[in-house]
């Protein structure tokens, strides 16, 4: 087992399994050939061909697209094709910097292979030169990665919020980190992966932040999404990452990125180039 096992777990992508999903001329996602036929019933919303799915061109506004897709998703949910409904709307756009063409329920994003975005916080405590990381154990009721280890704070990026504001909100809900502390979180880059998962196709960019947490602060969950917090030396966290899949698939990458940036992995590590490249797939 190695860092590369965690990297490769986020690079399970067979292009032939998917067909592109278009809104007008813009490819906005990828849909599993096995799922696409379920969209054929919604003739006013989707046009399903052998090699592509198109949103109906008659849906000519953000609102019209959002409402039509929402109606279809409600039916697909009742049919059992969408699990883990969140009641959170996500933007659907070709890239983070291009305008969203509509918004859709978060749980459906991977089924349409639409790009997803999240904010992840590395909460660390310094004990002299030794770095400790706060690690959360996800609630067993979470629809994705129940019981898996995770960052102290992590959340999806919904529509209509700045990233930093979303991070501050998640800090409060997930770990009772007060806004004045959360505001000190430092943006440290992104990572990206493109991978097939049970829930569908994940084409995600994560925005990572580092926050030095005072030694006398203990996180406390308030939204029921975290069962337990641990404060472990980075060395121990990296050992868990290398030898188990106890961390949620994408949270492992966030830890590896942290370990790279903080010099915890030597440049002469035989997989160094592949590890860093593997954190940036798109």
∠ at Cα 145 (184, 169), nearest 5°? 25
Where does this chain touch a copy of itself (CB under 8 A) — which range of 31-39, 61-69, 143-151, 265-273?
265-273
- Neighbouring C-alpha atoms within 13 Å toward the C-beta of 219: 34
- Residues 1-40, mask of contacts with a copy of itself (x by CB under 8 A): ----------------------------------------
**Distance between CA atoms of 138 and 64, rounded to whole angstroms?**
36
Among 28, 205, 226, 241, binds a copy of itself (CB under 8 A): 205
CA nearest neighbour of 166 among 154, 152, 177, 175: 154
- Neighbouring C-alpha atoms within 13 Å toward the C-beta of 134: 29
Among 139, 176, 192, 196, binds a copy of itself (CB under 8 A): 192
Closest distance between a copy of itself and the C-beta of residue 113, in Å? 18
> Could you say which DSSP state residue 17 is in?
G
* Interface with a copy of itself: number of residues (CB under 8 A): 35
**Distance between CA atoms of 80 and 84, rounded to whole angstroms?**
10
Instruction: State which residue, 49 or 99, has the beta carbon closest to a copy of itself.
Output: 99
Among 187, 218, 236, 243, binds a copy of itself (CB under 8 A): 187
> Could you say which DSSP state residue 251 is in?
H
Kindly list the residues in this chain that would bind a copy of itself in the complex (CB under 8 A): 95-97, 119, 162-164, 186-190, 192, 205, 207, 209-210, 260-263, 265-268, 270-274, 276-277, 279-280, 282
């Amino acid at each position: 087992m190695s860092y590369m096992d965690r990297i490769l777990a986020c690079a399970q992508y067979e292009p032939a399994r998917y067909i592109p999903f278009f809104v007008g001329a813009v490819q906005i996602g990828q849909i599993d050939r096995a799922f696409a036929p379920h969209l054929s019933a919604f003739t006013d919303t989707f046009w399903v061909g052998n090699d592509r799915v198109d949103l109906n061109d008659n849906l000519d506004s953000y609102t019209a697209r959002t409402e039509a897709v929402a109606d279809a998703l409600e039916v697909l949910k009742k049919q059992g094709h969408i699990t883990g409904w969140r009641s959170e709307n996500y933007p659907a756009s070709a890239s983070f910097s291009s305008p969203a063409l509509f918004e859709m329920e978060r749980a459906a994003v991977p089924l349409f292979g639409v790009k997803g975005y999240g904010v992840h916080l590395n909460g660390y405590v310094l004990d002299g030169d030794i770095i400790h990381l706060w690690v959360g154990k996800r609630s067993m009721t979470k629809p994705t990665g129940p019981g898996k280890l995770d960052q102290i704070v992590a959340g999806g990026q919904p529509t209509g919020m700045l990233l930093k504001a979303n991070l501050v909100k998640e800090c409060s809900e997930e770990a009772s980190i007060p806004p004045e502390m959360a505001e000190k979180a430092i943006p440290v880059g992104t990572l990206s992966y493109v991978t097939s998962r049970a829930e569908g196709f994940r084409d995600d960019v994560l925005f990572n932040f580092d926050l030095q947490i005072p030694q006398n602060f203990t996180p406390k969950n308030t939204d029921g999404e975290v069962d337990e917090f641990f404060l472990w030396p980075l060395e121990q966290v990296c050992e868990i990452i290398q030898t188990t899949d106890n961390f949620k698939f994408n949270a492992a990458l966030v830890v590896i990125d942290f370990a790279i940036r903080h010099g915890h992995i030597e440049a002469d590590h035989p997989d160094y180039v592949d590890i860093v490249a593997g954190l940036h797939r798109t």
